[in-house]
Amino acid sequence: MSAEQQRKFLEKLHQELSVSSQDYRDKTLNKRMHTFTVTRRAIRRGMKDRIAKNFPDMSKAVLMKVLNDSDVHVRKLIRETGRSLVALSQRDEGVSVIKFTPARIEAAFEDSGVNRFNQIKGSYDTHWSATASGISDVLKNTLNDDSIDIEAKSLWNLEHNHLKGVVETQVKDAIDNAHLEEQAITMKNAKAWFKGMGIELDLIRNGNTGVMEVFIGSQRANSKEGGISGAKMNKLRKALAAAILVLDNKGLVADLGGSDSFKESKIKKTRRETLKPFKKLKNVKVTSKDLKKDDSITSVSKDALKVVAVSKGRQKKKKVSTKSTKPGIASHPLQLIGVINKALPDTVRKNMQNPQLENRTGRFAESVRLTDIVQTPKGYPSIGYTYQRNPYGVFEDGGGSAPWANGERDPRQLIDKSIREIAAQFALGRFYTRRE
């Protein structure tokens, strides 16, 4: 492994994480796509947490009475917030209200250069003070104490989903950007180093969409989680400084990895070839230094490897097989890709009907395109495509997030339907589609 590779990766990672969380939010995070959820349950949890803190001796029966008597104020907050979001969606085509009931709101805010986080706060901040005032009145009447005055900011915060907050997302982005700087060190290497340094892996946000998922949640719970994430970030920064110091002293960082140099590769190859005959001898045990070839500098996607493997398999089969194989998808697949890509955005847009994704800005439809056409081992066409995963990947079943991924909004189903509609005129027969 190369110390220079480690240095480039770690210095870039250190540079990315030196940006304050607030600057990262203002310049990057708050402008990404956001999903916003409001639920009666989460609002009541914020109330429970604050009451437990301020009134530790309150009985469960009295607590339930306060929650039930306050319900009229909670439902009003949900109703007024929903109305604000509906009005905003009529002014901004990048805002969608997906669900609006007396107990739940779901809305999506596409990335557009606008501070979406502040827009979301603006949808309820004119109403939650009145809600807090109503809850305070209920407590005054229940406890016969006119001095009680609870502020909204002590009840609720605009909270990020668990392990998908500001810190976790900043760390994930920082590792991705450091990998672009030095591709020999991957996310897998970074996680191994985290583990070796005693840094919990949940500090790295999981998932590829980058969509910020926020909801009105408990102020006390949010503050506690934020403090834990902040402490983990500080530990990571210290570990980075220590690792760079190791490199300054001509050392190598354990667990971080990196690819073999050309010289190292040649040495390992010679070692393998020399020892190979001895491994076949009975009652002979062969031991040696590291023989494993490290080619981690080569960055190849799994799908790309599958395509290469299929292509090689097809070439070998042509040399030895006497059976006739199925005809290709077309004489000129590149031209076919071009023809389908030309019609694909309009076809996708036409098919975007409820309950599937609905067309609002046209960005999703315009991002869909075919990337390649290969054959499966059985000779069937396999059509690869891509689309703008950030932010629309949040709707994918299995990889997205509830409530956005609900079995009906999966972009892959919509794209597959559209590709087949266009391909019908070419009589391709049986074929498969795959998202790259």
Closest CA to 177 of 185, 168, 167: 185
Distance, CA of 4 to CA of 256 (rounded, Å) = 12
Contact (Cβ atoms closer than 8 angstroms) between residue 410 and residue 395: yes
Strand, coil or helix: 174: helix
The reported pLDDT for the residue numbered 379 is 83
The reported pLDDT for the residue numbered 292 is 54
Distance, CA of 149 to CA of 44 (rounded, Å) = 17
One digit per residue, the tens of pLDDT, for the chain of length 436 reads 478 888 888 889 889 988 888 898 888 889 988 999 999 999 999 999 999 999 999 999 999 999 999 999 999 999 999 999 999 999 998 899 989 999 999 999 988 889 999 999 999 988 999 999 999 999 999 999 999 999 999 999 888 876 677 888 888 888 888 888 888 888 888 888 888 878 877 777 766 667 888 889 888 887 777 777 888 888 888 888 888 887 877 777 766 755 443 344 445 556 666 666 666 666 656 665 555 544 433 333 334 333 334 444 444 444 444 444 444 444 567 767 878 888 899 999 999 988 888 888 888 999 999 988 888 888 888 999 999 988 888 888 887 777 788 888 899 999 999 999 888 877 678 889 999 8
The reported pLDDT for the residue numbered 39 is 95
Orientation of helix 128-143 relative to helix 60-69, angle to 10°: 140
Whole-structure pTM value: 0.57
User: Terminal CA-to-CA distance of the chain, rounded, Å?
Assistant: 31
Strand order of the sheet with strand 432-435?
369-375, 381-386, 432-435
Domains and CATH numbers, the chain: 26-163+211-246 (no CATH), 260-293 (no CATH), 302-435 (3.30.300)
Burial of 166 (0-12, 13-18, 19+ CB in 10 A): buried
The reported pLDDT for the residue numbered 255 is 65
